[in-house]
């Protein structure tokens, strides 16, 4: 921890008095809570700086009558924020990492990945079904989810249920669940519910055997201009090493598969005893066809920081100069190797068909 403190102190000493750092965010309550938590950490590290939060609506916030997978836009929740970053209207942007594509537009990078919260999915039940689980819900109960990944996995596991799209921010989806009689339950990210303080609404947490999570789920990413070294140094202290390595592996897996939100791809990662484990899977839209596998790699953390010349410091859109390069490359190679393994087993065909079917509906 002493290393981080020294970096922070040095950065602060070199900063002009009361410089204002502008932080971009989406307008939703959850986005504001997430951004506030990152800004609170930065304020504690840099008491000599001021932080101004600038909230804006994104395409994904505005188009609420269409399933995300149908809109066909890779940067649904990031484009407007990146536009503000490009025009120098903000200095950094806080995102849910799972909203950030694995290939960022030129000129941008993820300068920090904060410590991950619970990455698993949660089931929130209609008040009349509180105490149930997905398994014990009545036949033909309708479960709402905006995610093809969740629907494909859960249809396979819980064939007695029907899955329907539900859109809107967390508040809107919970209101639809509670006030309308259409849904018996909805599936949401546990991390979002916890950040909102709605722990009491979590009726069931889905384990990886039931539903693996989205790439980057539960982690926050801080996006900055790739050439803005000052801001990169400022936010770099927020990197959580374990979360970073897990998310590099996950993003490399997704990028190599050429997946996105229009196809069902899911992951599960763990770090244990110097080993990084990555499980990944692809599914057909109805969940009937799937390929999954697990690989692992040894993470050697060098005793000394070994910085070599780097033409491109970014890995899957992430810059982490303060974390040893070797483990980052090992994590990226793990993701690529697992993607290649799944492709060799026929994953491309499953994903192509899923993409075509999704586009046709």
Catalytic residues: 99
- Answer left, alpha or beta for residue 162, where phi above 0 means left and psi between -120 and 50 means alpha: beta
Question: What is the spatial distance between Cα 92 and Cα 167, in angstroms, rounded to a whole number?
Answer: 27
* Max CA separation in the chain (angstroms): 64
CB-CB neighbours of 11 under 10 Å: 18
Q: What's CA 115's distance to the chain center, in Å? A: 12
Cα 11 from Cα 114, distance rounded (Å) = 19
308, 223 contact by CB (below 8 A): no
- 292's enclosing H/E stretch is strand 290-298
| 86, burial (CB in 10 Å: exposed 0-12, middle 13-18, buried 19+) | middle
Backbone angles phi, psi at 233, to 5 degrees: -65, -40
CA atoms within 13 A of residue 153's CA, in its CB half-sphere: 26
């Amino acid at each position: 921890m002493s290393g981080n403190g020294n970096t922070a102190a040095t950065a602060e000493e070199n900063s002009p008095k009361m410089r204002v750092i502008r932080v971009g965010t989406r307008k939703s309550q959850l986005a504001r809570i997430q951004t506030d938590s990152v800004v609170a950490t930065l304020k504690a590290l840099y008491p000599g700086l001021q932080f101004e939060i600038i909230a804006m609506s994104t395409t994904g916030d505005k188009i609420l009558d269409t399933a995300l997978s149908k809109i066909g836009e890779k940067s649904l929740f990031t484009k407007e924020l990146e536009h503000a970053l490009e025009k120098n209207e903000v200095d950094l942007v806080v995102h849910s990492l799972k909203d950030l594509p694995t290939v960022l537009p030129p000129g941008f990078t993820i300068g920090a990945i904060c410590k991950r919260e619970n990455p698993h999915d949660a089931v929130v039940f209609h008040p009349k079904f509180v105490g149930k689980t997905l398994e014990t819900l009545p036949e033909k109960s309708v479960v709402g989810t905006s995610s093809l990944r969740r629907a494909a996995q859960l249809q396979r596991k819980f064939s007695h249920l029907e899955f329907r799209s539900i859109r809107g921010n967390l508040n809107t989806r919970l209101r639809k669940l509670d006030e309308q009689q259409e849904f018996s339950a909805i599936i949401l990210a546990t991390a979002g519910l916890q950040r909102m303080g709605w722990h009491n609404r979590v009726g069931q947490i889905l384990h990886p055997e039931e539903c693996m999570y989205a790439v980057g789920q539960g982690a926050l990413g801080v996006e900055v201009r790739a050439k803005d070294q000052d801001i990169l140094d400022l936010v770099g202290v927020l990197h959580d090493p374990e979360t970073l390595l897990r998310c590099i592996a996950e993003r490399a897996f997704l990028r190599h598969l050429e997946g996105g939100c229009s196809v069902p791809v899911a992951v599960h990662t763990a770090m244990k005893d110097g080993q990084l484990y990555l499980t990944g899977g692809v599914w057909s839209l109805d969940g009937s066809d799937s390929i999954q596998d697990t690989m692992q790699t040894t993470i050697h953390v060098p005793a000394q920081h070994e910085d070599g010349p780097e033409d491109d410091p970014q890995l899957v859109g992430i810059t982490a100069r303060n974390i040893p390069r070797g483990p980052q490359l090992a994590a990226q190679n793990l993701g690529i190797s697992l993607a290649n393994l799944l492709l060799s087993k026929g994953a491309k065909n499953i994903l192509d068909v899923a993409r075509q079917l999704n586009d046709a509906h």
